[in-house]
Amino acid sequence: MGPPGAGKSSTWSMLAKAQDLEGKKTTVFDLNPKVTSTNELYGVVLLATREWKDGLLSKTLRSLGQIPDSNPKWLILDGDLDANWIESMNSVMDDNKLLTLASNERIPLKAHMKMLFEIRDLRFATPATVSRAGILYISDTAGSQWKSYVTSWINKMKYDEERKKQLRELFDKYVAKTLFYCKKTFKHVVP
């Protein structure tokens, strides 16, 4: 979770590449649930013919589950939450890990399969949805990430409070400017 451009996509992409280097070929399927209607996303029973028509999510989840290996498979739902589609995800996110469709079919989310929600905020999330998810907040250009590491590191040090205070002041004085300079000037090599 975080604002656009904060690095959410880069985070999961780099984690997938790291798993690939360890020999666990990660299959990633990225879709935006907001570009389709709920029926097109999950599927619908056509009233005229009483036939089931698969949706994008149901078809994708089923096909990922049918791949015979146990390498990681990620379904990335990249788009803001919407009450119309997120509530149907609660059965996938609870202990059952089953997507229950209107056709009464149940598609299991296997142990090596994960659903990642790449969202801006939790404005439309219900308590039931939030309680079933692990949330990683990636902040924007305010740069609070490095401050969290510094605070954690200083707190672990066995220095007296005066020295810890001096360290905090030095980090505040120099690191932000240094990181900004590096970001602006250096070309980064990322695998």
pLDDT digits (tens, 9 = 90+) for 143-171: 566 787 788 899 999 999 999 999 999 99
Q: What is the mean pLDDT of residues 103-124?
A: 90
Which residue has better confidence, 190 or 18? Answer: 18
Give the pLDDT confidence of 83-98 residue by residue, as tens digits. Answer: 778 888 888 888 889 9
Q: What is the mean pLDDT of residues 140-144?
A: 61
**Average pLDDT, rounded, for the chain:** 87
> What pTM did the predictor assign?
0.70
Long-range contacts of residues 97-102, Cβ cutoff 8 Å, at least 24 apart: 99/42, 99/57, 99/58, 99/61, 101/42, 101/43, 101/52, 101/58, 102/42, 102/43, 102/44, 102/45, 102/52
Per-residue pLDDT at 4: 79
Q: Which two tokens stand for residue 83?
A: 């009450």
